[in-house]
Amino acid sequence: MLEDYRAGLGVDGAADDGDRVAGRWIGCPTLVAWSAYDELEFLYGDVLAIWRDWADDLLRAVAAARSAL
């Protein structure tokens, strides 16, 4: 899990920047899922707005159950 966060701040961020400059876009329906018990909406506001920069066919799914972990 920590490696995922590290990649998001470094390698993945650089790849995202390159994709934006190149005008790359997600051209298929995209499921955006997060937990109702997470702080994602509190920290970032409209979660789908983040993805609208990358795709226009978004499906929203908010999990109402807590993680089993």
| Residue 67 reports pLDDT greater than 70 | no
CB contact set of 31 (below 8 Å; sequence gap of 6+): 58, 59, 61
- Domain ranges for the chain: 25-69
- For the stretch 8-44, pLDDT in tens is 667 788 888 899 899 999 999 999 888 887 788 888 8
Looking at residue 37, its pLDDT comes to 79
